[in-house]
Structure 1
Amino acid sequence: MTKLSPTDSLTYDVETAVLQRYQAGARETEACLCAPVAYEDRYLEIIPPELIEKDYGCGDPSRYAKAGETVVDLGSGSGKACYILAQKVGANGRVIGVDFNDEMLGLARKYQAEIAAKLGYNNVQFVKGKIQDLALNLELVQDWLAAHPITTVEQVAHLEAEMAKLRQTQTLIPDNTADLVVSNCVLNLVRPEDKKQLFGEIYRVLKRGGRAVIADIVCDEEPTPAILNDPSLWSGCIAGAFQEAEFLKMFADAGFYGIEILERQEKPWQVIDGIEFRSMTVRAFKGKDGPCWERNQAVIYTGPWLQVQDDDNHTYMRGERTAVCDKTFGILTNPDGPYAGQFAPVAPLQEIPLADAKPFDCSRSSWRHPQETKGLDYRVTVMSDGSACCDPNSGCC
């Protein structure tokens, strides 16, 4: 089959096809735009039926939000997920829904005051933007265009300059501000040439240690040229689907770590020309970039595999002390991280202050000798005084 590269041209405009389909979906419910998803009923009780009926998705990434977090929902549509998230993050959290479709934005905002009154707080904001360009506030662009109509080619350059300024001075979603970025069956709708930028934008807006949880449609084979050039299949979440392995690679290429398939639909949602299309939910974390410092730390991979390899080609043998830098030590032993419970931490007997740490030697042996963590002069002998021994009469042995 022929793979469509980002430089190839489709026979139609993707953005127009998607916009028109979802404008219609905002006016009248379209069942074919979504795959069956089970949401937690208690979070739907305050949401008006119209928003539920006109919500289109293939998963429920909202279930991974935590209290107090700032969450960005890419392609927020009717706003249903945002109103679920509003309940999960609570009054101290914040939810930002991003959509390009004015009719969907109008629908989501229609019930905003009503839902806020039911909750007792208003922590949801809906903004107009493209999910592959989260720096540009398109409502500000519209305001500028209303005051500066474009009638010449020269004025197009003025618009481009204004948009560049807006990205810098009135950034829609600033760098490092979100704890969680979610999206539900929307990334596949983006043009092929914009998808690399899209994942870069997700990474940019997340805080260090933040995570993305994305539900989307994937396929087991490359879509045929006939599928790719059918605008109804693109706007219907088929033609733009990621191949399964490619979807995970997009996260890795953007710099994410701890990339994990949380859910994979067993039975295909649709099959076209023998190609299976199904929903998949992936979680990925930000924060492995930065300098590596030597603080005499190690980790022990606890199994069950004989060995595992991370995205940076570090190999961890089961039961062996593996030397790691301070950054990797924190990532692998973080109780809230993706590797929780898989690695036993081995901290040095004498802690090395970060200010005194030297650069970690990535070319060294991966094995950390116990004397490196205890110290070369460690010759302590500690004998049990008997108080910790097991009393046969106590039943502990």
Structure 2
Amino acid sequence: MDVEEAVLKRYEMAAREVEVGLCVPVRYDRSLLEVIPDEIIRKDYGCGDPSRYVREGETVLDIGSGSGKACYIISQIVGPSGTVIGVDFNEEMLELARRYQSAVGQQLGYHNVEFRRGKIQNLMLNLDLVEEYLARHPVQSVSDLSRLREFEERISQEQPLIPNESIDLIVSNCVLNLVRPEDKRKLFSEMYRVLKRGGRIAISDIVSDEAVPDHLRADPELWSGCVSGAFQEEELLRAFEEAKFYGIRIEEMRAEPYQTIEGIEFRSVTVTAYKGKEGPCIERNQAVLYRGPWKQVVDDDNHVLPRGVRVAVCDKTYQLYCKPPYQDQFILIPPREEVPLENAGVFDCARTERRHPRETKGMDYKVTQDSSNGCGPGSACCP
């Protein structure tokens, strides 16, 4: 039995009967659980709460949505102006999630949740459409198989399960580790594809503190139990980097392991990251000053930023530092006279030099101003 089949069978059983060992205890906002049926809550398997990073009005994608618990929680946070899409491969779990869809929506007073069948490493292919095709055109020959592949390719382009750049936030709860090793790079690429520019992820998953040896990885029972397929701590962050995410941050790491096997500790982490640092590097005479507390830091593009030093940056980097997760870490120094985009030159992003104040003020800036009209003893602002 390969790992994908083991995962499918185990979660089919977990949709029928509660399996306590598949989850890490998590505290949720109890007010958000009141409308969710008890069966969904009992058959939810996760290791964190990425819903806390959701904002009102967003379009949120839950990859590996399982029983639908997170989707129904998030539906209340995004409100009637938002949308929640759950994607799962397991038919038993999808049936459980969909069973209560109408009832939950009626209690809330709006319906903003839908569940779609697909593999999270291929968010192009809608497997419900494939099932409908196979019911009409069963595969009985190589020619039939070829026509099926052509159909899959066509609907992936014309009716993608999740379209390009359509999602504000991706959440996932203890699912990335279940994907086969050869599909994990595609998984991260797919997450990046469907996010809007400026979109972000909030992922809770299991990581190991050491590399998992091959004999443990080959164990389907451990794999389907969210253990042997776990990323090593550094590997998970590196996977996000390689997929072009930026601003990657470990929001939470459980102190106590979920499991310990042969001295290797497996624990829950929650990671956030952002999409949208692509674009040309142009010179607009901007500078940033890192506040501290570290003596210096290095960002994802290898800009070295010493504490308290004006550093030259391109317009793209400057704009990134205006937004989360960076905005509280820098003092932004715009030029005295804004450089129009049409007049901006190319900025060498390999540059890590200091920005001389004259570059932002202007080389011909000769203003002299005393403090005679300023604040001083006896003035209105300094009694």
TM score, norm. by length of structure 2? 0.97
Q: In the aligned structure 2, how far is the partner of 1:51 from the partner of 1:385?
A: 71
Does residue 86 of structure 1 match 2:75? yes
Instruction: Choose from 328, 334, 340 the match for 2:317.
Output: 328
Does residue 112 of structure 1 match 2:101? yes
Q: Tell me which residue corresponds to 1:103.
A: 92
- What whole-Å deviation, never above 9, does each CA across 1:327-384 have from its counterpart, x for those lacking one? 10011122xx111210000000111122221111234452111111111111112223
Does residue 156 of structure 1 match 2:141? no
Q: Tell me which residue corresponds to 1:353.
A: 340
Question: Letter of the aligned partner of 1:196 in structure 2?
Answer: R
Does residue 367 of structure 1 match 2:360? no
Q: Tell me which residue corresponds to 1:185.
A: 174
Distance change (3 Å), C-alpha of 1:365 and 1:186: closer
Q: Secondary structure at the match of 2:71?
A: helix
Q: Tell me which residue corresponds to 2:11.
A: 22
Q: Secondary structure at the match of 1:86?
A: helix
Question: Letter of the aligned partner of 2:45 in structure 1?
Answer: Y
Q: In the aligned structure 1, how far is the partner of 2:233 from the partner of 2:351?
A: 35
Question: Share of identical aligned residues, percent?
Answer: 58
Does residue 285 of structure 1 match 2:308? no
- What whole-Å deviation, never above 9, does each CA across 1:233-284 have from its counterpart, x for those lacking one? 1110011000000000000000000000000011111101111000011001
Instruction: Choose from 207, 211, 230 the match for 1:222.
Output: 211
Distance change (3 Å), C-alpha of 1:166 and 1:380: same
Deviation at 1:225, TM superposition (A): 2.6
Q: In the aligned structure 1, how far is the partner of 2:333 from the partner of 2:37?
A: 52
Q: Secondary structure at the match of 2:87?
A: strand
* Counterparts of residues 183-222 of structure 1 (less than 5 Å): 183-222=172-211
Q: In the aligned structure 1, how far is the partner of 2:49 from the partner of 2:62?
A: 12
Deviation at 1:39, TM superposition (A): 0.8
* Counterparts of residues 1-397 of structure 1 (less than 5 Å): 12-334=1-323, 337-364=324-351, 366-391=353-378
Kept after mapping to 1: 8 A contact 2:44/2:66 = yes
Structure 1 vs Structure 2 CA RMSD: 1.4
Deviation at 1:74, TM superposition (A): 0.4
Deviation at 1:389, TM superposition (A): 2.8
Kept after mapping to 2: 8 A contact 1:332/1:340 = yes
Distance change (3 Å), C-alpha of 1:361 and 1:222: closer
Distance change (3 Å), C-alpha of 1:371 and 1:117: same
Q: Secondary structure at the match of 1:146?
A: helix
Q: Secondary structure at the match of 2:171?
A: strand
- What whole-Å deviation, never above 9, does each CA across 1:146-201 have from its counterpart, x for those lacking one? 11110112221211111111110001111111110000000000000000000000
Kept after mapping to 2: 8 A contact 1:23/1:104 = yes
Q: In the aligned structure 1, how far is the partner of 2:380 from the partner of 2:336?
A: 36
Kept after mapping to 1: 8 A contact 2:49/2:173 = yes
Question: Letter of the aligned partner of 1:67 in structure 2?
Answer: E
- Structure 1, unpaired ranges of 5+: 1-11
Kept after mapping to 2: 8 A contact 1:206/1:286 = yes
Kept after mapping to 2: 8 A contact 1:333/1:344 = no
Q: In the aligned structure 2, how far is the partner of 1:391 from the partner of 1:274?
A: 70
Q: In the aligned structure 2, how far is the partner of 1:366 from the partner of 1:260?
A: 26
Q: In the aligned structure 2, how far is the partner of 1:281 from the partner of 1:365?
A: 32
- When the two structures are aligned, how many residues end up with a matched partner? 383
Kept after mapping to 2: 8 A contact 1:128/1:139 = yes
- What whole-Å deviation, never above 9, does each CA across 1:283-307 have from its counterpart, x for those lacking one? 0100111111111111000000110
